[in-house]
Amino acid sequence: MKRFFTDNTLNITSTNVIILVAVFFITFYNFAFFSNVLEVYPLNKKNIGFLSSLAFGCTGLFVLLLSLVCYKHTIKPVITLVFILSSLASYFMDSYNTPINDDMINNIVHTDFAESLDLFSFELVLYVVFLGLFPSYHLYKTNIIFKTGWQELISKIKLIVLTLLSILGMIYIFSDYYSSFFREHKPLRYYTNPSYYIYSSGQYAGSLFASSQLPLKKIGLDAKVPFSESHRELLIFVVGETARADRFSLNGYVKETNPQLKKENIVNFTNFWSCGTSTATSVPCMFSKFTASEYNKEKIHSTENVLDVLNHAGVNVLWLDNNSDSKGVAERVQYQSYKSPDINTICDPECRDVGMLVNIQTYINEHPQGDIMIVLHQMGNHGPAYYKRYPAAFEKFKPACKTNQLEDCSKEELDNAYDNAILYTDFFLSKVIALLKQNSSGFESAMFYVSDHGESLGENGLYLHGLPNIIAPDTQRHVPAIFWIDDNYDEIDVEQLKNKQNTQFSHDNVFHTILGFMEVESSVYDKSLDILHNSSD
């Protein structure tokens, strides 16, 4: 056996290995990139030259990248690592047509094991075997020949210079195309594999380092709640997950997805927009004083949020989480995860959002003094395994897609699974309202529900979420937002608030609306952004 392999071992120079690997990458790992490119530049006589140059240029770029990191002792481990990671990236981009940006890397880092299992499939195994393990094995078996000392350096410099000149030459020849490619079709680059996820990892690591260097900026230290013997405030703020506004029948969706909420006297904001298109962006953003246009990851993570301001005002703050975590928002308040059956008593085996409600009454009873703000971070419509997000009794819309291979399901099946999960959220929210009604005698209470972002469900071949705001379709940013306010809250006229139902609002309004409801007085409060108290109408 050993002899067989020894005789068949390929002897090949390092330069040729780099070129071969680059060609292999462009051919097999960039299906999503080229299919997106072909939508903008269809394959015809006019575009063929540019398209070939693009394929050649991408190969060249990868040759340059590899030349810089591949040396005698690094070439095999580096390329093996890139094979494995790129096979995963390829699977993800080919399946969901969604690029791996720094937001996505952040999500991957913060995703727990159960969520990763949601993405597991037979196709994923095939990608890892054929694009990850198979080429790695052959690379391992190859005898890579390095020249000695200066000769190796000279041949590397030759390779780099020649590649660079060819790339520049092609950009010059097709300069019209490349200027449109770089300026008008910037998002196409997001699909290049592996260059874009390598770039994104760098971005992510950089911002992580930058925010770890920044000291925490305190805000709203002057916050106070005017003392009142007559009433206390109780707000339950529900952070929804991946819910689209257009899938709520309250917003005109043809399927009845809100049978419970429609029975309640709620204020339904029909024109509400998310800060970002991912949990990692939107959740910290909605609790921060910064608006979406001021969004900056380092700034947001190094500045206190609305929960801290409530803390300064002496409000009892509690965060219950049935999602991955609070994305750093609840770091300085009381926090409890409900992802495990040890804590969450309603798991089948998936731990349900309603499980978060079980101990709330006890918490309220144990805090006889001061106002109370409770955040519930839902699992909601977390994809792609929407069918796992609701108990069997909620499978009202059938047949429902029962796989994470969304492209294998018909559009109807996919919609059904997604809509059943919305139906379950409708039920969950009605339970939150019921809990608040129970506390009517002791509190002026309210529920404020808003989703973190929306979702693509196959429109234009796109699935999931996480596209940069600039190119994200409305379905990823138009979110449901609902207020329920107890009748005994005198300061707000619910019927009058309904006049604002179609006014455009966004996550920018969350910070100030929470402070407004809790009657917090502070210099950080901006009444014009408080949905309940501003006078936009």
Q: Which residues bind Zn ion (CB under 5 A)?
A: 241, 279, 452
Partnered with residue 463 across adjacent β-strands are: 457
Nearest residue to Zn ion, scored by beta-carbon proximity = 279
Token pair of 236 as six digits: 């339950």
Residue (194 or 240) nearer to Zn ion, CB: 240
Long-range Cβ pairs for the range 224-231 (8 Å, 24+): 224/313, 224/314, 224/520, 224/521, 224/522, 225/313, 225/314, 225/315, 225/370, 225/371, 225/518, 225/519, 225/520, 225/521, 226/519, 226/521, 231/443, 231/444
Residue (220 or 480) nearer to Zn ion, CB: 480
Buried-state track 90-99, b at ≥16 Cβ within 10 A, e below 16: bbbbbbbbbb
What is the phi/psi pair of residue 363, to 5°?
A: -60, -45
Nearest-angstrom CA–CA distance, 83 and 62: 13
Residue (107 or 258) nearer to Zn ion, CB: 107
Residue (450 or 532) nearer to Zn ion, CB: 450
CB of 455 to Zn ion, least distance (A): 9
CB of 242 to Zn ion, least distance (A): 5
Q: Is 493 exposed, middle or buried (0-12, 13-18, 19+ CB in 10 A)?
A: exposed
Nearest CA among 189, 186, 208, 203 for reference residue 99: 189
Do the Cβ atoms of 324 and 115 come closer than 8 Å?
A: yes
Residue (115 or 152) nearer to Zn ion, CB: 115
CB of 277 to Zn ion, least distance (A): 9
CB of 451 to Zn ion, least distance (A): 8
CB of 283 to Zn ion, least distance (A): 7
Residue (327 or 533) nearer to Zn ion, CB: 327
Q: Which residue has the tokens 């106070």?
A: 224
CB of 458 to Zn ion, least distance (A): 18
Residue (38 or 117) nearer to Zn ion, CB: 117
Do the Cβ atoms of 118 and 388 come closer than 8 Å?
A: yes
Nearest-angstrom CA–CA distance, 448 and 67: 54
What is the phi/psi pair of residue 374, to 5°?
A: -120, 130
Do the Cβ atoms of 243 and 381 come closer than 8 Å?
A: yes
Q: Which residue has the tokens 């394929």?
A: 55
CB of 17 to Zn ion, least distance (A): 41
Q: Which residue has the tokens 């039920």?
A: 427
CB of 466 to Zn ion, least distance (A): 9
CB of 241 to Zn ion, least distance (A): 5
3-state class of 177 per DSSP? helix
3-state class of 47 per DSSP? coil
Do the Cβ atoms of 508 and 291 come closer than 8 Å?
A: yes
Residue (279 or 476) nearer to Zn ion, CB: 279
Determine how β-strand 143-145 pairs with β-strand 266-273.
Answer: unpaired
CB of 237 to Zn ion, least distance (A): 15
Residue (94 or 452) nearer to Zn ion, CB: 452
Residue (279 or 416) nearer to Zn ion, CB: 279
CB of 274 to Zn ion, least distance (A): 9
Do the Cβ atoms of 451 and 480 come closer than 8 Å?
A: yes
Do the Cβ atoms of 290 and 296 come closer than 8 Å?
A: yes
Residue (350 or 452) nearer to Zn ion, CB: 452
